[in-house]
Amino acid sequence: MGERPQLQTRDSSKSIGTLTNSMTSPLSSIEASPRGLLLHAVNNRTDGRLDSALEDVPTAVNSRRPSLDIDVERKGVHDGIDIYDPSQPKLGFRQRIHHFTWAWFTWPMSTGVIFAQPYQFPGLRQIGFAVYIINLVIFLTLVICMITRFCLYRDDLRNSVTHPREGLFLPTFFLAIATIITSTERYIVPENDTPKRWVILVAFWGYLLVTLFLAVGQYSHLFAKHKYALLTMMPTWILPIFPIMLSGTIASVIAEFQSDMSAVPIIVGGLGAQGLGISVSIMMYSHMVGRLMQVDLPNREHRPGLFMNVGPPAFTALAFIGMANGLPNSLDRMQGGTLDVGVIRTFALISAIFLWGLSLWWFCIAAVAVIRSPPKYFHLGWWAMVFPNTGFILATISIAKEFKNPHVMRFTSAMSILLVLMYFFVLGSHIRAVVKQDIMYPGRDEDVEDH
Protein backbone atom coordinates (compact mmCIF):
# COMPACT_ATOMS: atom_id res chain seq x y z
CA MET A 1 0.00 0.00 0.00
CA GLY A 2 1.37 3.37 -1.02
CA GLU A 3 4.24 1.82 -3.04
CA ARG A 4 5.03 2.99 -6.58
CA PRO A 5 4.04 0.41 -9.21
CA GLN A 6 7.12 -1.38 -10.50
CA LEU A 7 8.06 -1.07 -14.15
CA GLN A 8 8.88 -4.44 -15.74
CA THR A 9 11.15 -5.36 -18.60
CA ARG A 10 10.24 -7.29 -21.70
CA ASP A 11 11.63 -10.52 -20.28
CA SER A 12 9.54 -10.41 -17.10
CA SER A 13 6.25 -8.92 -18.26
CA LYS A 14 3.82 -10.46 -20.70
CA SER A 15 1.26 -7.75 -20.18
CA ILE A 16 3.47 -4.99 -21.49
CA GLY A 17 4.56 -7.14 -24.41
CA THR A 18 0.92 -7.90 -25.28
CA LEU A 19 0.06 -4.21 -25.15
CA THR A 20 2.84 -3.14 -27.47
CA ASN A 21 2.32 -6.06 -29.86
CA SER A 22 -1.26 -4.90 -30.39
CA MET A 23 0.02 -1.67 -31.91
CA THR A 24 0.66 -1.47 -35.63
CA SER A 25 4.25 -0.36 -35.02
CA PRO A 26 6.52 0.83 -32.21
CA LEU A 27 6.27 4.36 -33.54
CA SER A 28 2.46 4.29 -33.39
CA SER A 29 2.66 3.42 -29.70
CA ILE A 30 4.93 6.36 -29.16
CA GLU A 31 2.62 8.73 -30.98
CA ALA A 32 -0.47 7.42 -29.20
CA SER A 33 0.27 8.92 -25.82
CA PRO A 34 3.08 9.84 -23.42
CA ARG A 35 2.44 6.62 -21.49
CA GLY A 36 2.79 4.66 -24.72
CA LEU A 37 6.11 6.35 -25.21
CA LEU A 38 7.26 5.26 -21.77
CA LEU A 39 6.04 1.68 -22.25
CA HIS A 40 7.89 1.48 -25.55
CA ALA A 41 11.07 2.76 -23.91
CA VAL A 42 10.87 0.22 -21.07
CA ASN A 43 9.77 -2.66 -23.28
CA ASN A 44 12.75 -2.30 -25.57
CA ARG A 45 15.43 -2.33 -22.87
CA THR A 46 17.97 -5.03 -23.63
CA ASP A 47 20.39 -4.58 -20.74
CA GLY A 48 17.95 -5.55 -17.98
CA ARG A 49 18.36 -2.30 -16.05
CA LEU A 50 15.32 -0.74 -14.35
CA ASP A 51 16.44 2.87 -14.28
CA SER A 52 13.96 5.68 -14.87
CA ALA A 53 12.19 5.17 -18.15
CA LEU A 54 12.80 8.84 -18.83
CA GLU A 55 16.43 8.09 -19.68
CA ASP A 56 15.40 6.26 -22.85
CA VAL A 57 12.65 8.68 -23.89
CA PRO A 58 13.39 10.97 -26.83
CA THR A 59 14.68 14.39 -25.83
CA ALA A 60 12.23 16.13 -23.54
CA VAL A 61 12.60 19.46 -25.25
CA ASN A 62 12.05 19.09 -28.95
CA SER A 63 10.97 21.43 -31.68
CA ARG A 64 8.17 20.62 -34.10
CA ARG A 65 10.61 19.15 -36.62
CA PRO A 66 10.48 15.30 -36.57
CA SER A 67 13.22 13.99 -34.29
CA LEU A 68 13.73 10.93 -32.13
CA ASP A 69 17.26 11.81 -31.02
CA ILE A 70 17.97 10.76 -27.46
CA ASP A 71 19.56 13.11 -24.92
CA VAL A 72 22.74 14.44 -26.53
CA GLU A 73 24.53 15.05 -23.27
CA ARG A 74 23.91 11.58 -21.86
CA LYS A 75 25.16 9.95 -25.06
CA GLY A 76 28.47 11.71 -24.37
CA VAL A 77 29.33 12.36 -28.02
CA HIS A 78 28.90 15.76 -29.68
CA ASP A 79 30.45 16.87 -32.95
CA GLY A 80 32.54 13.70 -32.91
CA ILE A 81 34.01 14.48 -29.47
CA ASP A 82 33.53 12.25 -26.43
CA ILE A 83 32.75 14.95 -23.89
CA TYR A 84 33.43 12.65 -20.92
CA ASP A 85 36.82 11.49 -22.19
CA PRO A 86 39.52 12.60 -19.67
CA SER A 87 41.84 13.23 -22.62
CA GLN A 88 39.29 15.30 -24.54
CA PRO A 89 40.93 17.82 -26.87
CA LYS A 90 41.66 21.28 -25.52
CA LEU A 91 39.70 23.95 -27.36
CA GLY A 92 40.64 27.56 -27.90
CA PHE A 93 38.77 30.66 -26.76
CA ARG A 94 36.97 31.15 -30.08
CA GLN A 95 35.58 27.61 -30.02
CA ARG A 96 34.57 27.75 -26.35
CA ILE A 97 32.91 31.18 -26.46
CA HIS A 98 30.50 29.67 -28.98
CA HIS A 99 29.03 27.75 -26.01
CA PHE A 100 28.82 30.73 -23.63
CA THR A 101 25.09 30.71 -22.94
CA TRP A 102 22.47 32.93 -21.30
CA ALA A 103 22.55 30.58 -18.30
CA TRP A 104 25.77 32.29 -17.18
CA PHE A 105 23.63 35.14 -15.84
CA THR A 106 22.47 32.79 -13.07
CA TRP A 107 25.77 33.80 -11.44
CA PRO A 108 25.22 37.58 -11.05
CA MET A 109 21.53 37.09 -10.27
CA SER A 110 22.67 34.98 -7.28
CA THR A 111 25.18 37.58 -6.10
CA GLY A 112 22.71 39.83 -4.35
CA VAL A 113 21.87 41.86 -1.28
CA ILE A 114 23.36 40.66 2.01
CA PHE A 115 22.62 43.83 3.99
CA ALA A 116 19.05 42.78 4.91
CA GLN A 117 20.08 40.76 7.97
CA PRO A 118 18.21 40.67 11.30
CA TYR A 119 21.38 41.48 13.22
CA GLN A 120 23.66 44.17 11.86
CA PHE A 121 27.32 44.50 12.77
CA PRO A 122 29.99 47.09 11.96
CA GLY A 123 31.30 46.61 8.46
CA LEU A 124 28.30 44.67 7.13
CA ARG A 125 27.20 47.53 4.90
CA GLN A 126 30.74 47.92 3.59
CA ILE A 127 30.88 44.21 2.78
CA GLY A 128 27.55 44.48 0.99
CA PHE A 129 28.79 47.47 -1.01
CA ALA A 130 31.90 45.53 -2.04
CA VAL A 131 29.71 42.60 -3.17
CA TYR A 132 27.58 45.06 -5.14
CA ILE A 133 30.63 46.41 -7.00
CA ILE A 134 31.92 42.88 -7.66
CA ASN A 135 28.52 41.90 -9.01
CA LEU A 136 28.53 44.87 -11.37
CA VAL A 137 31.92 43.75 -12.67
CA ILE A 138 30.68 40.17 -13.09
CA PHE A 139 27.56 41.33 -14.94
CA LEU A 140 29.46 43.63 -17.30
CA THR A 141 32.06 40.91 -17.98
CA LEU A 142 29.34 38.43 -18.92
CA VAL A 143 27.68 41.01 -21.17
CA ILE A 144 31.00 41.54 -22.97
CA CYS A 145 31.42 37.77 -23.38
CA MET A 146 27.91 37.44 -24.84
CA ILE A 147 28.55 40.31 -27.26
CA THR A 148 31.82 38.64 -28.26
CA ARG A 149 29.98 35.39 -28.94
CA PHE A 150 27.35 37.12 -31.06
CA CYS A 151 30.00 39.03 -33.02
CA LEU A 152 32.04 35.90 -33.76
CA TYR A 153 28.98 33.81 -34.57
CA ARG A 154 26.42 36.06 -36.22
CA ASP A 155 23.53 33.58 -36.05
CA ASP A 156 23.96 32.85 -32.34
CA LEU A 157 21.84 35.76 -31.08
CA ARG A 158 18.74 34.59 -32.91
CA ASN A 159 19.49 30.92 -32.30
CA SER A 160 20.10 31.40 -28.58
CA VAL A 161 16.87 33.30 -28.00
CA THR A 162 14.76 30.82 -29.97
CA HIS A 163 16.54 27.66 -28.82
CA PRO A 164 14.12 25.37 -26.94
CA ARG A 165 16.48 25.00 -23.98
CA GLU A 166 18.91 27.92 -23.96
CA GLY A 167 16.11 30.37 -24.72
CA LEU A 168 14.50 29.51 -21.38
CA PHE A 169 17.57 31.00 -19.67
CA LEU A 170 17.23 34.38 -21.38
CA PRO A 171 15.20 35.67 -18.38
CA THR A 172 18.22 35.18 -16.09
CA PHE A 173 19.72 38.26 -17.77
CA PHE A 174 16.78 40.32 -16.49
CA LEU A 175 16.86 38.64 -13.08
CA ALA A 176 20.46 39.79 -12.77
CA ILE A 177 19.29 43.33 -13.60
CA ALA A 178 16.63 43.07 -10.86
CA THR A 179 19.35 42.14 -8.37
CA ILE A 180 21.39 45.16 -9.46
CA ILE A 181 18.42 47.55 -9.15
CA THR A 182 17.61 46.43 -5.59
CA SER A 183 21.30 46.57 -4.63
CA THR A 184 21.62 50.06 -6.11
CA GLU A 185 18.71 51.20 -3.93
CA ARG A 186 20.37 49.72 -0.85
CA TYR A 187 23.93 50.92 -1.36
CA ILE A 188 24.02 53.85 -3.79
CA VAL A 189 20.91 56.04 -3.48
CA PRO A 190 20.86 58.38 -0.44
CA GLU A 191 17.55 58.70 1.37
CA ASN A 192 16.88 62.32 0.40
CA ASP A 193 18.56 62.46 -3.02
CA THR A 194 15.65 63.34 -5.32
CA PRO A 195 17.50 63.05 -8.69
CA LYS A 196 18.73 59.55 -7.88
CA ARG A 197 15.27 58.61 -6.66
CA TRP A 198 13.99 59.50 -10.10
CA VAL A 199 16.63 57.23 -11.65
CA ILE A 200 15.39 54.31 -9.54
CA LEU A 201 11.79 55.19 -10.38
CA VAL A 202 12.50 55.17 -14.12
CA ALA A 203 14.48 51.92 -13.76
CA PHE A 204 11.55 50.25 -12.00
CA TRP A 205 8.92 51.19 -14.59
CA GLY A 206 11.26 50.44 -17.46
CA TYR A 207 12.06 47.04 -15.96
CA LEU A 208 8.37 46.24 -15.41
CA LEU A 209 7.42 47.09 -19.01
CA VAL A 210 10.32 45.20 -20.58
CA THR A 211 9.73 42.09 -18.47
CA LEU A 212 6.00 42.18 -19.22
CA PHE A 213 6.88 42.15 -22.91
CA LEU A 214 9.31 39.29 -22.20
CA ALA A 215 6.69 37.24 -20.33
CA VAL A 216 4.12 37.64 -23.10
CA GLY A 217 6.54 37.40 -26.01
CA GLN A 218 8.59 34.44 -24.85
CA TYR A 219 5.65 32.30 -23.80
CA SER A 220 3.88 33.17 -27.08
CA HIS A 221 6.97 31.99 -28.96
CA LEU A 222 7.18 28.79 -26.92
CA PHE A 223 3.48 28.04 -27.46
CA ALA A 224 3.76 28.57 -31.22
CA LYS A 225 7.19 27.21 -32.14
CA HIS A 226 8.07 24.42 -29.71
CA LYS A 227 6.46 21.31 -28.37
CA TYR A 228 7.35 20.25 -24.81
CA ALA A 229 6.31 16.90 -23.36
CA LEU A 230 4.59 17.37 -19.99
CA LEU A 231 6.20 14.19 -18.64
CA THR A 232 9.59 15.93 -18.89
CA MET A 233 8.58 19.24 -17.32
CA MET A 234 11.46 21.12 -15.66
CA PRO A 235 11.39 24.22 -13.40
CA THR A 236 13.03 26.22 -16.19
CA TRP A 237 9.55 26.50 -17.71
CA ILE A 238 8.84 29.03 -14.94
CA LEU A 239 11.77 31.27 -15.82
CA PRO A 240 10.04 33.49 -18.45
CA ILE A 241 7.55 34.71 -15.82
CA PHE A 242 10.18 35.14 -13.11
CA PRO A 243 11.54 38.57 -14.13
CA ILE A 244 8.20 40.37 -14.04
CA MET A 245 7.42 38.68 -10.74
CA LEU A 246 10.58 40.27 -9.35
CA SER A 247 9.02 43.67 -10.14
CA GLY A 248 7.02 43.19 -6.94
CA THR A 249 10.21 42.48 -5.00
CA ILE A 250 11.82 45.63 -6.42
CA ALA A 251 8.70 47.61 -5.47
CA SER A 252 8.90 46.29 -1.91
CA VAL A 253 12.45 47.63 -1.63
CA ILE A 254 12.07 51.07 -3.23
CA ALA A 255 8.49 52.13 -2.37
CA GLU A 256 9.09 53.26 1.21
CA PHE A 257 11.81 55.68 0.07
CA GLN A 258 9.75 57.30 -2.68
CA SER A 259 7.33 60.20 -2.28
CA ASP A 260 3.72 59.32 -1.47
CA MET A 261 2.69 60.28 -4.99
CA SER A 262 5.21 57.86 -6.50
CA ALA A 263 5.00 55.08 -3.91
CA VAL A 264 1.34 54.18 -4.46
CA PRO A 265 1.63 53.54 -8.25
CA ILE A 266 4.84 51.56 -7.60
CA ILE A 267 3.07 49.33 -5.09
CA VAL A 268 0.02 48.86 -7.31
CA GLY A 269 2.20 47.99 -10.31
CA GLY A 270 4.42 45.72 -8.20
CA LEU A 271 1.40 43.93 -6.72
CA GLY A 272 -0.06 43.29 -10.16
CA ALA A 273 3.27 41.97 -11.46
CA GLN A 274 3.76 39.80 -8.39
CA GLY A 275 0.25 38.41 -8.74
CA LEU A 276 0.86 37.55 -12.39
CA GLY A 277 4.12 35.81 -11.55
CA ILE A 278 2.85 33.68 -8.68
CA SER A 279 -0.33 32.77 -10.59
CA VAL A 280 1.56 31.46 -13.62
CA SER A 281 4.03 29.69 -11.32
CA ILE A 282 1.24 27.85 -9.51
CA MET A 283 -0.15 26.72 -12.86
CA MET A 284 3.31 25.41 -13.71
CA TYR A 285 3.53 23.65 -10.33
CA SER A 286 0.61 21.43 -11.34
CA HIS A 287 2.62 20.18 -14.33
CA MET A 288 5.71 19.75 -12.17
CA VAL A 289 3.92 17.63 -9.59
CA GLY A 290 2.20 15.65 -12.35
CA ARG A 291 5.55 14.90 -13.94
CA LEU A 292 7.03 13.80 -10.58
CA MET A 293 4.05 11.56 -9.84
CA GLN A 294 3.83 9.99 -13.29
CA VAL A 295 7.47 9.63 -14.28
CA ASP A 296 10.24 10.25 -11.77
CA LEU A 297 12.57 12.88 -10.44
CA PRO A 298 14.76 14.59 -13.06
CA ASN A 299 18.09 13.11 -14.02
CA ARG A 300 20.56 13.59 -11.17
CA GLU A 301 22.57 16.12 -13.18
CA HIS A 302 19.58 18.50 -13.24
CA ARG A 303 18.05 17.96 -9.81
CA PRO A 304 19.54 21.18 -8.36
CA GLY A 305 17.14 22.97 -10.72
CA LEU A 306 14.27 21.81 -8.50
CA PHE A 307 15.24 24.59 -6.09
CA MET A 308 13.86 27.02 -8.67
CA ASN A 309 10.41 26.04 -7.40
CA VAL A 310 11.31 27.57 -4.04
CA GLY A 311 11.55 31.06 -5.53
CA PRO A 312 8.05 32.17 -6.59
CA PRO A 313 6.24 31.72 -3.23
CA ALA A 314 9.28 32.94 -1.29
CA PHE A 315 9.76 36.14 -3.27
CA THR A 316 5.99 36.72 -3.22
CA ALA A 317 5.93 36.44 0.58
CA LEU A 318 8.85 38.86 0.76
CA ALA A 319 7.16 41.29 -1.63
CA PHE A 320 3.81 41.22 0.21
CA ILE A 321 5.39 42.26 3.50
CA GLY A 322 7.68 44.83 1.89
CA MET A 323 4.97 46.48 -0.21
CA ALA A 324 2.54 46.60 2.73
CA ASN A 325 5.18 48.26 4.89
CA GLY A 326 5.92 50.67 2.03
CA LEU A 327 2.35 51.99 1.92
CA PRO A 328 2.36 55.68 2.89
CA ASN A 329 0.80 56.30 6.31
CA SER A 330 -1.07 59.21 4.76
CA LEU A 331 -3.39 56.66 3.11
CA ASP A 332 -4.64 55.45 6.48
CA ARG A 333 -8.15 56.42 7.50
CA MET A 334 -6.84 57.76 10.79
CA GLN A 335 -4.99 60.39 8.80
CA GLY A 336 -7.77 61.21 6.35
CA GLY A 337 -6.93 58.52 3.82
CA THR A 338 -9.12 55.85 2.26
CA LEU A 339 -7.42 52.61 3.43
CA ASP A 340 -6.92 50.79 6.69
CA VAL A 341 -3.15 50.40 6.37
CA GLY A 342 -2.89 48.34 9.56
CA VAL A 343 -5.36 45.74 8.28
CA ILE A 344 -3.56 45.56 4.92
CA ARG A 345 -0.25 44.92 6.67
CA THR A 346 -1.84 42.21 8.80
CA PHE A 347 -3.27 40.41 5.78
CA ALA A 348 0.06 40.79 3.96
CA LEU A 349 1.75 38.99 6.86
CA ILE A 350 -0.87 36.23 6.88
CA SER A 351 -0.50 35.74 3.13
CA ALA A 352 3.28 35.70 3.44
CA ILE A 353 3.18 32.92 6.04
CA PHE A 354 0.75 30.98 3.83
CA LEU A 355 3.13 31.16 0.86
CA TRP A 356 6.22 30.58 3.01
CA GLY A 357 4.87 27.10 3.82
CA LEU A 358 4.70 26.23 0.11
CA SER A 359 8.24 27.50 -0.36
CA LEU A 360 9.44 25.37 2.55
CA TRP A 361 7.82 22.27 1.05
CA TRP A 362 9.53 22.76 -2.31
CA PHE A 363 12.83 23.40 -0.54
CA CYS A 364 12.57 20.08 1.29
CA ILE A 365 11.55 18.20 -1.89
CA ALA A 366 14.54 19.62 -3.78
CA ALA A 367 16.97 19.03 -0.92
CA VAL A 368 15.94 15.38 -0.51
CA ALA A 369 16.16 14.80 -4.29
CA VAL A 370 19.68 16.24 -4.52
CA ILE A 371 20.93 14.45 -1.40
CA ARG A 372 19.58 11.10 -2.63
CA SER A 373 21.40 11.42 -5.96
CA PRO A 374 23.95 14.26 -6.08
CA PRO A 375 25.00 15.49 -9.52
CA LYS A 376 28.40 14.41 -10.78
CA TYR A 377 29.09 17.13 -13.36
CA PHE A 378 28.69 20.86 -12.87
CA HIS A 379 25.91 22.66 -14.73
CA LEU A 380 25.02 26.32 -14.48
CA GLY A 381 21.70 25.18 -13.03
CA TRP A 382 23.57 24.64 -9.77
CA TRP A 383 23.06 28.34 -9.11
CA ALA A 384 19.43 27.44 -8.41
CA MET A 385 20.74 26.24 -5.04
CA VAL A 386 21.55 29.89 -4.24
CA PHE A 387 19.18 32.43 -5.86
CA PRO A 388 15.74 30.96 -4.96
CA ASN A 389 16.98 30.07 -1.49
CA THR A 390 18.03 33.69 -1.04
CA GLY A 391 14.37 34.64 -1.46
CA PHE A 392 13.37 31.93 1.00
CA ILE A 393 15.78 33.21 3.65
CA LEU A 394 14.83 36.87 3.08
CA ALA A 395 11.15 35.96 3.41
CA THR A 396 11.90 34.12 6.66
CA ILE A 397 13.80 37.16 7.93
CA SER A 398 10.89 39.48 7.06
CA ILE A 399 8.38 37.26 8.87
CA ALA A 400 10.66 36.96 11.90
CA LYS A 401 11.05 40.74 12.05
CA GLU A 402 7.28 41.23 11.95
CA PHE A 403 6.86 38.91 14.95
CA LYS A 404 10.02 40.27 16.60
CA ASN A 405 11.01 36.72 17.47
CA PRO A 406 14.72 36.63 18.46
CA HIS A 407 14.97 32.83 18.17
CA VAL A 408 13.79 32.79 14.55
CA MET A 409 15.99 35.76 13.73
CA ARG A 410 19.04 33.95 15.09
CA PHE A 411 18.04 30.91 13.04
CA THR A 412 17.83 33.03 9.88
CA SER A 413 21.33 34.35 10.60
CA ALA A 414 22.55 30.74 10.62
CA MET A 415 20.66 30.11 7.38
CA SER A 416 22.37 33.12 5.81
CA ILE A 417 25.79 31.76 6.77
CA LEU A 418 24.94 28.40 5.20
CA LEU A 419 23.78 30.16 2.05
CA VAL A 420 27.08 32.05 1.81
CA LEU A 421 28.94 28.74 2.13
CA MET A 422 26.73 27.27 -0.62
CA TYR A 423 27.48 30.29 -2.80
CA PHE A 424 31.22 29.73 -2.53
CA PHE A 425 30.80 25.99 -3.09
CA VAL A 426 28.90 26.59 -6.32
CA LEU A 427 31.32 29.33 -7.36
CA GLY A 428 34.30 27.03 -6.78
CA SER A 429 32.62 24.25 -8.76
CA HIS A 430 31.82 26.77 -11.50
CA ILE A 431 35.44 27.92 -11.82
CA ARG A 432 36.70 24.33 -11.73
CA ALA A 433 34.25 23.34 -14.47
CA VAL A 434 35.49 26.14 -16.73
CA VAL A 435 39.13 25.16 -16.21
CA LYS A 436 38.44 21.45 -16.79
CA GLN A 437 36.27 22.17 -19.85
CA ASP A 438 33.20 20.67 -18.18
CA ILE A 439 31.26 23.67 -19.47
CA MET A 440 31.80 26.03 -22.42
CA TYR A 441 32.43 22.88 -24.42
CA PRO A 442 30.52 21.14 -27.22
CA GLY A 443 27.60 19.15 -25.82
CA ARG A 444 28.02 20.31 -22.22
CA ASP A 445 25.98 23.51 -22.11
CA GLU A 446 22.44 24.76 -22.46
CA ASP A 447 22.74 25.00 -26.24
CA VAL A 448 21.95 21.27 -26.51
CA GLU A 449 18.55 19.67 -25.87
CA ASP A 450 19.25 17.26 -23.06
CA HIS A 451 16.36 16.83 -20.63
Strand partners, 63: 226
371 compared with 113, residue with greater pLDDT: 371
Lowest-confidence pick of 41-55, 71-85, 111-125 = 41-55
Residue pair 178/186 in contact (Cβ under 8 Å)? The answer is no
The values of phi and psi at residue 279, to 5°, are: -65, -50
- Residue 37 pLDDT exceeds 50: no
Reported as half-sphere exposure (CB side, CA atoms, 13 A), residue 105 has a value of 25
Q: What is the mean pLDDT of residues 82-87?
A: 61
What is residue 179's predicted lDDT score, i.e. its pLDDT? 94
Residue pair 39/29 in contact (Cβ under 8 Å)? The answer is yes
The three-state secondary structure class of 61 is strand
CB atoms within 10 A of CB 95: 14
Q: What is the mean pLDDT of residues 352-364?
A: 97
Rounded to an integer, what distance in angstroms lies between the CA atom of residue 90 and that of residue 87?
9
Lowest-confidence pick of 75-79, 157-161, 291-295, 324-328 = 75-79
What is residue 82's predicted lDDT score, i.e. its pLDDT? 58
Label residue 27 by pLDDT band (50, 70, 90). Answer: very low
Give the percent of the chain with pLDDT over 90: 60
Q: What is the mean pLDDT of residues 384-401?
A: 94
DSSP 149-186: HHHHSTTHHHHHHH-TTGGGGTHHHHHHHHHHHHHHHH
Give the Cα-Cα-Cα angle 151, 98, 381 (nearest 5 degrees): 120
Label residue 28 by pLDDT band (50, 70, 90). Answer: very low
Residue pair 214/240 in contact (Cβ under 8 Å)? The answer is yes
Domains of the chain: 1-53 (no CATH), 93-435 (1.50.10.150)
CB atoms within 10 A of CB 161: 14
What is residue 400's predicted lDDT score, i.e. its pLDDT? 94
- Mean pLDDT of the chain, nearest integer: 82
- Residue 15 pLDDT exceeds 70: no
- Residue 31 pLDDT exceeds 50: no
Rounded to an integer, what distance in angstroms lies between the CA atom of residue 315 and that of residue 391?
5
What is residue 333's predicted lDDT score, i.e. its pLDDT? 77
Rounded to an integer, what distance in angstroms lies between the CA atom of residue 35 and that of residue 30?
8
What is residue 29's predicted lDDT score, i.e. its pLDDT? 40
Strand partners, 81: 78
What's the residue count for the chain?
451
Label residue 79 by pLDDT band (50, 70, 90). Answer: low
Label residue 55 by pLDDT band (50, 70, 90). Answer: very low
244 compared with 123, residue with greater pLDDT: 244
**Amino acid letter at 342?**
G
Interval 297-313: pLDDT, tens: 998 999 999 999 999 99
Interval 399-448: pLDDT, tens: 999 999 899 999 999 999 999 999 999 999 999 999 999 999 988 888 88
Lowest-confidence pick of 130-134, 183-187, 320-324, 445-449 = 445-449
What is residue 113's predicted lDDT score, i.e. its pLDDT? 66
The three-state secondary structure class of 339 is strand
Rounded to an integer, what distance in angstroms lies between the CA atom of residue 222 and that of residue 212?
15
Rounded to an integer, what distance in angstroms lies between the CA atom of residue 397 and that of residue 401?
6
